[in-house]
Amino acid sequence: QQQVKQSPQSLIVQKGGISIINCAYENTAFDYFPWYQQFPGKGPALLIAIRPDVSEKKEGRFTISFNKSAKQFSLHIMDSQPGDSATYFCAARDANDYKLSFGAGTTVTVRA
Amino acid sequence: NAGVTQTPKFRVLKTGQSMTLLCAQDMNHEYMYWYRQDPGMGLRLIHYSVGEGTTAKGEVPDGYNVSRLKKQNFLLGLESAAPSQTSVYFCASSLSRSEQFFGPGTRLTVL
């Protein structure tokens, strides 16, 4: 049973558009929410992360929005580029642990 | 620095065969992890280690064993491979509770 539920499974966006990926969780002890980006044939790499004491974090064209009361967080990719085509995983870590629980992943395809 | 490396990159096994996947990291990380990645399932933790000589079970440990004899190496063993173990295996390492760094993966097919 996955502790972090991720949607959609895949999405296609035109170049310059906005990609939005959503994740939800139940464990209120989660205190760290990273997003990993994975290109085909490669291992995942940390893209951006947020802690629950802030509602938004932005790094370049990537923004995490966090809603603590709804137990949801999302990744927004602004001005999507073909180079952003990859699989994105949300994850969460319990405050009393060091292991990450991953979502199922979202494959993003950016059409030129 | 090479970061996290995994060998082999690809492997095909017959049901019942055994093999060992090797993970090595040169970042002096204490924590190491083995995941498997399957379509629609995300990354699932198989086993992990919090230091040399220690190992612990993750979410899906059945059919796998691990050893961490040296701090920089983490081995994943399959004693009797089954088709259900066909997957892509990733090793990762981290400095305590910080960012996890992943290797390039091993694609394993069990016939």
Handedness of CA B111, B49, B91, B71 (dihedral sign): negative
Q: Per-residue confidence at B28, pLDDT binned at 50, 70, 90?
A: very high
Q: Per-residue confidence at B50, pLDDT binned at 50, 70, 90?
A: very high
- Tokens 């090479």 found at: B2
CA dihedral angle for residue B106, residue B107, residue B110, residue B111, rounded to 10 degrees: -150
Residue A109 CA to residue A107 CA, distance in Å, equals 7
Q: Which residue has the higher pLDDT, B39 or B1?
A: B39
What pLDDT is attached to residue A38?
98
- Planar angle of CA B88, B93, B96, nearest 5 degrees: 145
Kindly give, in sequence order, each residue whose CB lies less than 8 Å from that of residue B109, ignoring residues fewer than 6 positions away: B11, B12, B13, B86
- Residue A41's region, left for phi above 0, alpha for psi from -120 to 50, else beta, is left
Please report, as a single letter, which amino acid is at residue A73.
F
Chain B residues with beta carbon closer than 8 angstroms to that of A49: 99
The strand ranges marked E within chain B are 4-7, 10-13, 19-25, 31-38, 42-49, 56-57, 64-67, 73-78, 87-94, 100-102, 106-110
Is residue A54 scored above 90 in pLDDT? Answer: yes
Q: Per-residue pLDDT averaged across A71-76, rounded? A: 97
Q: Mean pLDDT in chain A?
A: 95
Nearest CB to A104 within list B40, B100, B101: B40
Q: Per-residue pLDDT averaged across A53-58, rounded? A: 94
Residue A33 CA to residue A51 CA, distance in Å, equals 6
Q: Per-residue pLDDT averaged across A43-67, rounded? A: 95
What pLDDT is attached to residue B40?
86
- Tokens 């990291």 found at: B25
Q: Per-residue confidence at A35, pLDDT binned at 50, 70, 90?
A: very high
Q: Per-residue pLDDT averaged across B56-82, rounded? A: 97
Is residue B60 scored above 90 in pLDDT? Answer: yes
- Contact criterion met (CB < 8 Å) for B43 and A41: no
Is residue A81 scored above 90 in pLDDT? Answer: yes
Q: Per-residue pLDDT averaged across A43-57, rounded? A: 95
Chain A residues with beta carbon closer than 8 angstroms to that of B104: 41-43
CA dihedral angle for residue B24, residue B60, residue B16, residue B71, rounded to 10 degrees: 20
Determine how many CB atoms are found less than 10 A away from the CB of residue A26. Answer: 9
Is residue B70 scored above 80 in pLDDT? Answer: yes
What pLDDT is attached to residue A21?
98
CB pairs under 8 A between A and B: 48
Q: Nearest CA of chain B to the CA of A90: how many Å?
A: 9
- Contact criterion met (CB < 8 Å) for B42 and A44: no
Is residue A36 scored above 80 in pLDDT? Answer: yes
Q: Mean pLDDT in chain B?
A: 95
